[in-house]
Amino acid sequence: MQNQTTPGALLTAMRANPPLVQCITNFVAMNIAANVMLAAGASPAMVHAEEEAGEFAEISGALTINIGTLSTDWMAGMVSAAQSATKAGKPWVLDPVAHYATSFRRKAVAELLELNPAVIRGNASEIIALAGGASRGQGVDSRDPVELAEEAAILLARKYRSVVAVTGATDFVTDGNRAVRINGGSPLMPQVTALGCALTCLVGAFAATRPQDPFDASVAALAAFAVAGERTGREAVGPGSFSWRFLDALAALDEKAIDREARITPA
């Protein structure tokens, strides 16, 4: 019998019933994230206004919240959506973009963390700082290796009872108990803006497909990026061609390819 929770099986399940995912993301990421979601087979909606964000979360399969271009009115929409998702039993994913940079961001992330995200997805510098460590992050960019963030990720997963997905050259995913590393991708990925933000939305899509197991959902989303990114890296000549070729590679992924090519190892 086939394992129903392999990344490939989850990709097939997601495409068979494309989940509506409410993505509250940033101005930089909106377009690329929506295109990544469509290429992978999900149905994204970028809905953030306070007047409707909570109501929209009720009809979505999952919610993602990203503080990349935060403002006070967006924060109100984020809080309303997260409360509504939790109440409706829908998983939501937090992307704490550059939360260490200003007190406004630090305060916002502290408030959002209290609203029970199912998954926290960030780069290594963001995860280290979230656990109170000394991060070398600069603005939205990570300057720390993922290996240095693994302990922080486990700590955060236990503290907030959530899955923590740390990305970089080698990704690390933990729920505080289980942990895996995922290899793949391409060094060109951090040269294309908002790919991490787009990945956060895709984690939401897989979490909508498998709400009972946000760990497997996160691993599947990161594996899809790792395989599509690695394939794209072989063809692209720079960040420009990487960007459009990556969408094609995501769309071309299928169950067999992802399960054959994903390099996932227990940590």
Ligand X SMILES: Nc1ncnc2c1ncn2[C@@H]1O[C@H](COP(=O)(O)OP(=O)(O)O)[C@@H](O)[C@H]1O
Ligand Y SMILES: Cc1ncsc1CCOP(=O)(O)O
Q: List interacting residues with ligand X (CB under 6 A).
A: 123, 142, 167-169, 171, 185-187, 189-190, 195-196, 199, 225-226, 229
Q: Tokens for 189, please give them.
A: 């990925």
194 touching ligand Y, by CB under 6 A: yes
26 touching ligand Y, by CB under 6 A: yes
Find the shortest distance in angstroms from Cβ 186 to ligand X. Answer: 5
68 touching ligand Y, by CB under 6 A: yes
- Among the listed ranges 26-34, 111-119, 161-169, 240-248, the one in contact with ligand Y (CB under 6 A) is 26-34
Answer with the entry of Mg ion, ligand X, ligand Y, none that 69 interacts with (C-beta below 5 to 8 A by kind).
ligand Y
Residue placing its CB nearer to ligand Y in the complex, 54 or 77: 77
Residue placing its CB nearer to Mg ion in the complex, 166 or 227: 166
- The answer on whether 221 is annotated among ligand-binding residues is no
Answer with the entry of Mg ion, ligand X, ligand Y, none that 242 interacts with (C-beta below 5 to 8 A by kind).
none
Opening angle at CA 55, ends 52 and 57, nearest 5: 105
Among 18, 44, 176, 196, binds ligand Y (CB under 6 A): 196
Sheet architecture: strand order including 119-123 = 43-45, 20-24, 62-66, 92-95, 119-123, 163-167, 170-174, 179-183, 263-266
Q: Tokens for 28, please give them.
A: 């930089």
Query: Which residues, 6 or more positions from 32, have their beta carbon under 8 angstroms from its beta carbon?
Result: 192, 193, 194, 195, 197, 198, 243
Distance of alpha carbon 63 from alpha carbon 71, whole angstroms: 19
DSSP 220: H
Residues annotated as binding site for substrate? 46, 194
